[in-house]
Amino acid sequence: MKQVVTVRNLTIGEGMPKICVPIVAATEEEIIKKAEEIVRYPADLIEWRADYFEDAYNLEALASVLLGIRKAIGDMPLLFTFRSESEGGCKAIGAKDYFALNLAVAMYGEADLIDLEIYQDLERAKNVISMLHEAGIKVIASHHDFEKTPTRSEIMTKLSKMQELNADILKIAVMPNEIGDVARLLKITGRTSINFEKPLITMSMGQMGMITRVAGESFGSDITFGTVGETSAPGQLHVNDLKLILETLHKYHS
């Protein structure tokens, strides 16, 4: 039976896919301003992409920004993400420092979920997931491939490992090189959502894969990413357009 994940007042894993809007800005002032702007839109949760922050390696600076975001967004769930350069992010970071940074963020108490690139180091990831859970943090285990769409077997293996490590939500984002890649990911998502216990996030990036960002309720992807201004990945739709499409599909899905 598929599990749900409840974060503050939000339940992930049932009904329409939840809309997450990322903050991609360089300075603390710009980040807080963007957080204040996003709450006026139909977002369900906010992601702070900390790798865009100019002082992202400074733990005290991270703590200050997290507190400012929390004040701006109130009780809206907050996802913290430091996307490494190796998985399409803005800054390089070694595995040891990467996991230490995420643990430090958990201790500040402002983030509700943390995106964890488990393939930085699977053994470290296993221990860190356990520690994040002890701190009351939900974990999105993630893997991103900005060059291709892996085979069905490769994708299933990665998702299985995420579930094995007891992540709360499993995330795969891939790049299509032909329309068949998009169709394959949707098929994999549909099968995985039936056979796996955990909520899923899957997406095929770019314009070709845009359909995967709105078809989650039919195929089993539980969070989708929309924009208010800057995008954090290719193919994202504006949050207003995304909400309208999801609501329209939901009406007929029900």
Is 144 a residue of the active site? yes
The amino acid sitting at 20 is C
What is the tens place of the pLDDT at every residue in 184-217?
999 999 998 888 999 999 999 989 999 999 999 9
| pLDDT single digits (tens) 109-159 | 999 999 999 999 999 999 999 999 999 999 999 999 999 999 999 999 999
Q: How far apart are CA 208 and CA 201, in angstroms?
A: 18
Q: Which of 3-12, 43-52, 202-211, 230-239 has the lowest mean pLDDT?
A: 230-239
The SS3 of residue 85 is helix
pLDDT band at 229 (very low <50, low <70, confident <90, very high): confident
Q: Residue 235: pLDDT above 90?
A: no
Report the pLDDT value the prediction gives residue 242, as an integer from 0 to 100: 95
Which of 18, 138, 143, 144 is labelled catalytic? 144
Q: Do 89 and 232 touch, CB atoms closer than 8 A? A: no
The Cα 234–Cα 79 span in angstroms is: 19
Q: What is the pLDDT of residues 51-88, one digit of tens each?
A: 999 999 999 999 999 999 999 999 999 999 999 999 99
pTM: 0.96
* Cα–Cα distance list, 175 to 126, 130, 149, 207 (Å): 27, 30, 5, 10
List 143, 171, 198, 243, catalytic entry: 171
Structure tokens at 80: 């913290």
Quote the mean pLDDT of the chain. Answer: 95
| CA atoms within 13 Å, Cβ hemisphere of 15 | 8
Tokens in use for 202? 């899957």
Q: Give, for 99, the enclosing helix (H) or strand (E).
A: helix 95-108
> What is the rounded CA–CA span in Å between residue 113 and residue 96?
20
CB 124 within 8 A of CB 103: no
253 in catalytic set? no
> Would you mind telling me the total number of residues written for the chain in this entry?
254
